[in-house]
Structure 1
Amino acid sequence: MNKAGTKGVARAEREQQIIGIAIEELGKRGHALASVVDIARRAGISKPLIYGYFGSRDGLYLACLRHVGDLLVEAVNAAQTRSGSSDHAVDTLSAIFDAVDPCRYAWSVLYDPTLPPVGEIHDAAMHYRTRLAGIGASGSTQLLTRAGHHDPLDHAFLNHIWQYAVTAVMRWWIDHPEQSPADMTARCARILSALDPD
């Protein structure tokens, strides 16, 4: 990864480089353990410069959270063309893989279990999580309704399973960096097809 501290880099570009490095550090270590010192060192800049750009450690985390949240919501929204069909799950996963390929820790940043239980960071994370859960709930409801299943608890149950399944898939992908978005899409399609051979 290129160092963000290179002279002559425009501020907006440098901020994006810092955010890219910070997403990886935060995704690996979580909000509780990630170090601004380590992020600054990897970026080739000083810790005060990060504070100059983002105001504080939490300001940097918020910038990362908004970046990955917008990225994920946009990707999942774009995959709604076949919502409610048997291909919808693969479409959604494929959109996520393509969107976060440059920053595979995006999902880990948004669903970080070490986030503070209250405050601006918590509220921002819940905002994006709620939006993604809402999109997932809509897809689950359409899928089950088309199959003749109308129990609201079934719909909520399927969406709950879906949210955790995506988290598991994203964590597996992080552990297998050699897998491309196309590889992951094909793998998910094979597995989902095997689960529903009809």
Structure 2
Amino acid sequence: MGAVKTKRMPRAVREQQMLDAAVRTFGQRGYMAASMDEIAELAGVSKPLVYLYLNSKEDLFTACIRREADALTAAVRAGVRRELPADRQLWEGLGAFFAHTSQNPDGWSVLHLQARTHGEPFASEVAAMRAEIVAFVTQLIVAAAREAHRDPDLPESEVAGLAEALVGAAESLADWANAASGVTARQAAATLMNFAWSGLGNLMDGKPWTAPDAAHEASGQTSPAR
């Protein structure tokens, strides 16, 4: 009898297998400590094959960042139903964000911890992902604000800072939720909604908080409510 031939794995499938192993290794051990030998062993391939497919450790790490960034932004976008009220859209977007980061802790570590602390070109890859998410959140908030104020020309600049703050809070909360014991994605989303929505709700109602003027600050008095 002749030797049994095994079917070759398609390149795309093999590459994803390598990326899976790399994300797990980079996420748990860090970029500097991770070795191509252990990534190859975890993927069940030879180290030369990893280099053949993905060129270098830097290129492999960049490919991991891009894949995880695409997956996260896709999850957030898919989680939002634009026909819902503004608070439900934000709730579902946050729920999708925290569900994805909790289900993919190694990928989140690659994006939020490893890529940001090892300089270029990695930081730029993460910055691009973050800018896309901030832009998406800005559109959610500005659409709701325009509807609430009945002002279709309300500029994005009025709420862009809120989107930046909200995304930054979500990133920090994801780190906390992944490190804390027993915190679910739903609980993390509810925590941020409770923190953010009261302020956003006032904005939607045309009742933004206003800072005291310099004279009142210097005297320790409070400004009259507006």
Q: Which residue of 2 aligns with 1:89?
A: 90
Moved more, 155-164 or 23-32: 23-32
Looking at structure 2, the residues matched to 90 and 101 of structure 1 have their Cα atoms a distance apart, in angstroms, of: 16
Q: Which residue of 1 aligns with 2:136?
A: 135
Q: Which residue of 2 aligns with 1:105?
A: 106
Partner deviation per Cα, 1:167-194 (whole Å, 9 max, x = no partner)? 1232123324765xxx312452366247
What is the number of equivalent residue pairs in this alignment?
A: 187
Q: Which residue of 2 aligns with 1:62?
A: 62
8 Å contact kept, 2:170–2:192: no
Higher relative contact order, chain-length normalized (CA < 8 Å, sep 6+): 1
8 Å contact kept, 1:27–1:109: yes
SS in 1 for 2:45: coil
Q: Which residue of 1 aligns with 2:176?
A: 172
% same residue: 26
| Greater Cα radius of gyration, structure 1 or 2 | 2
Looking at structure 1, the residues matched to 37 and 26 of structure 2 have their Cα atoms a distance apart, in angstroms, of: 12
Partner deviation per Cα, 1:104-154 (whole Å, 9 max, x = no partner)? 23333233322433x4x4544333222222112212323444554968555
SS in 2 for 1:45: coil
Return closer, same or farther for 1:9/1:19 CA change in 2, 3 Å cut-off.
Answer: farther
Structure 1 residue 27 displacement after superposition: 2.8
C-alpha RMSD of the superposition: 3.4
Which blocks of at least 5 consecutive residues in structure 1 are unaligned? 1-6
Residue identity in the other structure for 2:110: V
Residue identity in the other structure for 2:172: A
Which blocks of at least 5 consecutive residues in structure 2 are unaligned? 1-5, 202-226
Q: Which residue of 2 aligns with 1:3?
A: none
Q: How does 1:109-188 map to 2 (within 5 A)?
A: 109-111=110-112, 112-117=115-120, 119=121, 121-148=122-149, 154-176=158-180, 183-188=184-189
